[in-house]
Amino acid sequence: MPNEAPAAIETDVLVVGAGPAGLTASYLLTKAGVATTVIEADPVYVGGISRTASYRGFLFDIGGHRFFSKSREVVDLWHELLPDDIIERRRMSRIYYGGKFYSYPLKAFEALTNLGIVESGLCVLSYGWRRVFPYQNPSNLHQWVANNFGERLFRIFFKTYTEKVWGMACDDISADWAAQRIKGLDLVSAVMNALKKAIAPKRPKSADGKVIKTLIDSFEYPRRGPGMMWEAAATKTRAAGGIIEMDCRLSRLAFDAGTGRWTIEGKGGDGAVKRWSARHVISSAPVTELMATIDPPPASLAAATGLGYRDFLTVALVIDHPDLFPDNWIYIHEPDVTVGRIQNFRSWSPEMVPDEKLACIGLEYFCFEGDDLWTMPDADLIALAKRELGQIGLVGADHVLDGTVVRQKKAYPVYDAEYAERMAAIRADLSANCPGLHLVGRNGMHKYNNQDHSMMTAMLTARNIIAGKDLYDVWHVNEDAEYHEAGTRGEEA
């Protein structure tokens, strides 16, 4: 009959999403002999936000992905997947504010010179005031940052950029975001380290004798962009017997308590429906999308519907000029322009730009799907990017030869005042009523994980499935981590 549902294909594990978390899980499971199927909505790319996009031979990193992790096992897995194609790159980032560039991490004398003696003195006084009179029980990002850096530094180096990224006031962003992303980055230690670096060859120590962890000065990177890593993971998944269905979006999940198995339906771009039966489902899909597919609707569906996401787009420009700046990227704290960050793709890898006489840079704009920026025609976005490049003073519009636009939905899970309560309700509901459903990755857990943390959640989930019991609680990953770009590569087991 034409409307008859297709027969379900049996598999041990069904993975939703072929991003870093999903493909880490599929690679490790198939390597262990576990029958695994992956479904991915994108018809072309694996890697999710960590994919590598291309345009006329130019390669683009969507968001910028430094391959740095303090987890030894994550670093080892990267080298297992790409044993011959990882290169070492110098880390360099700066902040653009008030018409001047500030090195990041901080260089004390440069910052003093750029800000001027008066402003620098006011920043120090502001920092001291908040140390003596802090916000009690800080609940939002403004209060958390002000307690740790002072009000003036908050306004100069946090407020404008953060509000560009999130599209909301810092007073409306949960303190959890700041605590997760910049925990352990101490202003006094950073300044002291900058001062001591020139005279002390050894890493500085705090009063209790512990080494003060400094920000990384190099990182690893696949020579043709991060997508190279995930294309390798997909290839090795298939070689081990795993199946990856591209252009297939999850449309229905139903659990049968009698058999202890899930029925999963996915719909292709052509409208065709495929069905699978699996004991375990690993989802890296956005929580809102996942919950909408569960049949019958879960009690916490309303909580999932209320979760927010921030989207962004990259305007990549080809320029008839040698590289404009040596940085991997520049954070644009200037309030007079819309652009939030500018990448230099050759600084990630020389192979990203095919012509050494040309430069290729990416201007990143943070937006919400459907807003004026998101829906702006590509030609208008390219014109905006060219205009803002000149406004910042990097290069005139007449040097831009070509451009393209890459849009990325649901790039960042929003940490608003209600997100923690909503996620608690969802986790309790799924734990009680959805055995064998595992959430992993950034969007899968609605948690602002880095790539390595997303991989770690998948690694531990795969171990739990292989062992047949919950050995690890993946929700603890990145709970107590220090600043994500501090420390030594692979130092932690």
Q: Return the pLDDT at 323.
A: 82
Question: For residue 190, what pLDDT band results from cuts at 50, 70 and 90?
Answer: low
Instruction: Say if residue 431's pLDDT is above 60.
Output: yes
- Identify the residue whose tokens are 């962890």: 213
pLDDT digits (tens, 9 = 90+) for 83-139: 999 999 999 999 998 888 888 766 667 777 888 889 888 988 998 999 999 999 999
Q: Among candidates 454, 447, 448, 446, which has minimal Cα distance to 303? A: 446
The number of CA neighbours under 13 Å toward the Cβ of 109 is 5
Give the rounded percent of residues in the chain with a pLDDT score beyond 70: 87
Burial of 458 (0-12, 13-18, 19+ CB in 10 A): buried
Average predicted confidence (pLDDT) for the chain: 89
**Any idea which of 164-173, 281-290, 451-460, 474-483 has the lowest mean pLDDT?**
474-483
Q: Return the pLDDT at 208.
A: 46
Give mean pLDDT, residues 294-304.
97
Three-state DSSP class for residue 205: strand
Q: How far is CA 184 from the centre of its chain?
A: 19
CATH 3.90.660.10 domain span(s) along the chain: 309-413
Give the separation between CA 97 and CA 91, rounded to whole angstroms: 20
Domain 9-51+68-88+223-307+417-476: what homologous superfamily?
FAD/NAD(P)-binding domain (3.50.50.60)
Instruction: Say if residue 185's pLDDT is above 60.
Output: no
Region for 391 from its dihedrals, namely left if φ exceeds 0, alpha if ψ lies in -120 to 50, beta otherwise:
alpha
Give the separation between CA 299 and CA 291, rounded to whole angstroms: 10
- Identify the residue whose tokens are 């003073």: 393
Q: Report the top-level CATH class of 309-413.
A: alpha beta
pLDDT digits (tens, 9 = 90+) for 90-106: 999 999 988 888 887 66
Q: Among candidates 441, 317, 348, 404, which has minimal Cα distance to 48? A: 441
pLDDT digits (tens, 9 = 90+) for 3-29: 566 899 999 999 999 999 999 999 999
| Token representation of residue 110 | 């440069």
CATH 3.50.50.60 domain span(s) along the chain: 9-51+68-88+223-307+417-476
Instruction: Say if residue 199's pLDDT is above 60.
Output: no
Give mean pLDDT, residues 373-385.
98
Angle between helical axes of 175-182 and 141-149 (0-180°, round to 10):
50
Q: Return the pLDDT at 3.
A: 54
Q: What is the DSSP letter of 84?
A: T
Q: How far is CA 162 from the centre of its chain?
A: 15
Give the rounded percent of residues in the chain with a pLDDT score beyond 90: 71
Instruction: Say if residue 414's pLDDT is above 90.
Output: yes
**Any idea which of 50-54, 141-145, 201-205 has the lowest mean pLDDT?**
201-205
Contact indicator for 381, 287 with CB cutoff of 8 Å: no
Q: Among candidates 360, 438, 418, 489, which has minimal Cα distance to 53? A: 360
Q: Return the pLDDT at 462.
A: 98
Give the separation between CA 420 and CA 174, rounded to whole angstroms: 9
- As a whole number of Å, the CA-based R_g of the chain is 23
**Any idea which of 180-184, 227-231, 335-339, 361-365 has the lowest mean pLDDT?**
180-184
Query: Per mean pLDDT, which of 55-64, 157-166, 230-239 is the most reliable?
Result: 230-239
Q: Return the pLDDT at 209.
A: 47
